[in-house]
């Protein structure tokens, strides 16, 4: 086992894959690298078509978590959960891009944002990237966009957001990276090899190589400033790829993410952990490394330390996304996935202007009308209704194709998964079990529609209004 020379004395093992020394700096820098719209397709997770040497090296020198999930497979809700260390459903932040109108969402008073703890402890706090949370918050908790303004010797806490899968066009046009050929792409079996879908996936894979360059620039800066050895780096994505079974959905493509912790002298390099973890666990783990007490109310759990206790399952929840109302809950263990659909009489691909205007969605529906989809693709993507419950054996069926709810051999497992979800709903106080008020919905939709006009996408105005009317119609019909 290699250990950096500075930390070879007085090593004490405090928890899984953790190294600690009385001589090590007490307050390391904490850096969160959060990439948008990417599933687990990095080299260190086995993807062969991308070139991610910088990120792969960081992962291989740190601790990789192979069973990491987000508590919400869409950005603003996942972001709200991460910055508080709480399930978004516990604090009323579960609807995507909510609380933006006249009707506001106030998080519970006792729940603090993670930067508040660091700032109180003397850290310089920085936010580089998106800052939209689904509740009212004070932006002064962040000192700046990066850590360059801190005092000499002052440790920093920084969250840097990278565009990830949203940078498809930028990645495809880049002259500094090798490009994936569309014909070489291997798609999940539920997606058709439509030229548009293949090209989109190739561009998506190119974004991983582009992100590696950007992360490389950040690492170079840390080394140049002499901060690399004293910085604990957390690397995650905010949710999976934006696709028909990914972003916004609780299948593995949407809820599973790449995740590693890199900390020279603080974590055991080369370790791989398979216990279920959540993206919100960055919160408690970061506080632990900084020597800051983790508040008892926090649902985040430290992944290291003497009090570490592995989760037995991960929970992910999807609620309203823009104008489209839904309620999906998922429980994932190492071997099984259980999904409960709150609106089974609605189609898998409900009307949603954000997604319906994507080329991939248009292509899938086009081939559906022409009868070019396989029976499996037609069933999973274009079904007009859904099963109320879904159960998958992830070891035998990693693509989540075969619903085992009615299989007699799996009834015991089904019962256990149901109980796990029911217990979580009760203990966490899942606020998504109550339908959003029409006043809050209308308040958010008014801002959403105004945003279409301001951003120059007025052509979507009528489409969104039509979808809003449909959502209200389904509500009245009890659908």
Query: What is the average per-residue pLDDT within 163-191?
Result: 98
Average pLDDT for the chain? 94
407 within a domain of the structure (yes/no)? no
Distances from the Cα of 58 to the Cαs of 61, 253, 458, in angstroms?
5, 23, 44
Helix (H) / strand (E) containing 367: helix 359-369
Query: How many of the other CB atoms lie within 10 Å of CB of 16?
Result: 16
Cα separation, 336 vs 320, whole angstroms: 25
418 within a domain of the structure (yes/no)? no
Quote the pTM value: 0.94
Cα separation, 99 vs 132, whole angstroms: 10
Per DSSP, helices labelled H in 158-194 are 168-173
Q: How many domains are contained in the chain?
A: 1
391 within a domain of the structure (yes/no)? no
- SS3 at position 173: helix
Token pair for 28: 């390391």
Cα separation, 304 vs 61, whole angstroms: 16
Residue 403: exposure state from Cβ atoms within 10 A (0-12, 13-18, ≥19):
middle
Contact 240, 78 (CB under 8 A): no
pLDDT at 8: 24
225 within a domain of the structure (yes/no)? yes
Contact 40, 258 (CB under 8 A): yes
424 within a domain of the structure (yes/no)? no
Cα separation, 304 vs 431, whole angstroms: 30
Instruction: Render pLDDT for 59-110 as a digit per residue (tens, 0 to 9).
Output: 999 999 999 999 999 999 999 999 999 999 999 999 999 999 999 999 999 9
pLDDT at 131: 87
* pLDDT tier, 16 (very low <50, low <70, confident <90, very high otherwise): low
Is residue 362's pLDDT more than 80?
yes
Give the closest residue to 257 by CA, choosing from 34, 23, 54, 21: 34
Cα separation, 382 vs 56, whole angstroms: 37
Is residue 25's pLDDT more than 70?
no
Residues whose CB is less than 8 angstroms from the CB of residue 340 and which lie 6 or more positions away in sequence, other chains included: 328, 329, 330, 388, 389, 390, 421
pLDDT at 458: 87
Burial 322-338 (b: 16+ CB within 10 A, else e): bbbbbbbbbbbbeebbb
Cα separation, 105 vs 462, whole angstroms: 27
Which phi and psi angles does 22 have, rounded to 5°? -65, -25
Structural domain boundaries enclosing 190:
5-310
Query: What is the average per-residue pLDDT within 245-267?
Result: 97
Is residue 43's pLDDT more than 90?
yes
123 within a domain of the structure (yes/no)? yes
pLDDT at 472: 97
Cα separation, 436 vs 471, whole angstroms: 12
Instruction: Render pLDDT for 125-171 as a digit per residue (tens, 0 to 9).
Output: 999 998 889 999 999 999 999 999 999 999 999 999 999 999 999 99
93 torsion bin: left (phi>0), alpha (psi -120 to 50), beta (else):
alpha
Is residue 276's pLDDT more than 60?
yes
CATH of the domain at 116: 3.40.720.10
Residues whose CB is less than 8 angstroms from the CB of residue 48 and which lie 6 or more positions away in sequence, other chains included: none
Is residue 459's pLDDT more than 90?
no
The single residue listed with the structure tokens 């099984």 is: 336
243 within a domain of the structure (yes/no)? yes
Query: What is the average per-residue pLDDT within 192-206?
Result: 98
270 within a domain of the structure (yes/no)? yes
């Amino acid at each position: 086992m290699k250990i950096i020379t500075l930390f070879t004395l007085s090593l004490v093992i405090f928890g899984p894959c953790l190294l600690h020394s009385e001589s090590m700096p007490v307050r390391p820098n904490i850096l969160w690298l959060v990439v948008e719209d990417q599933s687990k397709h990095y080299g260190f997770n086995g993807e062969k078509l991308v070139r991610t040497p910088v990120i792969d090296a960081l992962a291989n020198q740190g601790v990789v978590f192979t069973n990491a999930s987000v508590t919400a497979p869409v950005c603003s809700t996942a972001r709200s959960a991460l910055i508080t260390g709480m399930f978004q459903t516990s604090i009323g932040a579960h609807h995507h891009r909510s609380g933006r109108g006249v009707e506001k969402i106030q998080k519970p008073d006792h729940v603090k944002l993670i930067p508040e703890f660091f700032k109180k402890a003397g850290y310089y706090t920085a936010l580089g990237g998106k800052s939209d949370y689904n509740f009212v918050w004070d932006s002064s908790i962040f000192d700046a966009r990066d850590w360059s303004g801190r005092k000499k010797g002052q440790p920093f806490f920084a969250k840097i957001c990278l565009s990830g899968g949203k940078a498809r066009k930028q990645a495809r046009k880049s002259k500094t990276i090798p490009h994936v050929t569309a014909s070489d792409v291997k798609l999940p079996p539920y997606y058709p090899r439509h030229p548009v879908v293949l090209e989109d996936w190739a561009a998506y894979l190119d974004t991983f190589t582009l992100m590696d360059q950007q992360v490389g620039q950040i690492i170079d800066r840390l080394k140049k400033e002499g901060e690399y050895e004293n910085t604990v780096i957390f690397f995650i994505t905010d949710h999976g790829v934006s696709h028909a079974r990914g972003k916004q959905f609780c299948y593995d493509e949407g809820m599973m993410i790449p995740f590693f912790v890199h900390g020279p002298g603080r974590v055991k390099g080369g370790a791989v952990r398979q216990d279920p973890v959540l993206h919100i666990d960055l919160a408690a783990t970061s506080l632990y490394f900084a020597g800051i007490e983790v508040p008892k109310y926090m649902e985040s759990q430290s992944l290291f330390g003497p009090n570490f206790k592995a989760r037995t399952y991960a929970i992910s929840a999807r609620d309203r996304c823009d104008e489209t109302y839904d309620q999906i809950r998922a429980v994932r263990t190492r071997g099984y996935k259980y999904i409960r659909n709150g609106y089974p009489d609605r189609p898998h691909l409900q009307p949603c202007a954000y997604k319906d205007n994507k080329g991939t969605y248009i292509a899938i529906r086009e081939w559906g009308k022409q009868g070019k989809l396989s029976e499996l693709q037609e069933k999973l993507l274009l079904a007009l209704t859904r099963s109320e419950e879904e159960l998958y054996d992830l070891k035998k069926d990693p693509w989540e194709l075969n619903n085992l709810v009615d299989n007699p051999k799996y009834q015991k497992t089904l019962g256990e998964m149901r109980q796990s979800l029911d217990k979580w709903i009760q203990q966490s106080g899942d606020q998504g079990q109550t339908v959003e008020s029409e006043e809050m919905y209308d308040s958010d939709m008014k801002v959403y529609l105004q945003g279409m006009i301001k951003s120059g996408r007025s052509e979507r105005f009528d489409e969104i209004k039509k979808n809003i009317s449909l959502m209200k119609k389904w509500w009245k019909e009890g659908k």
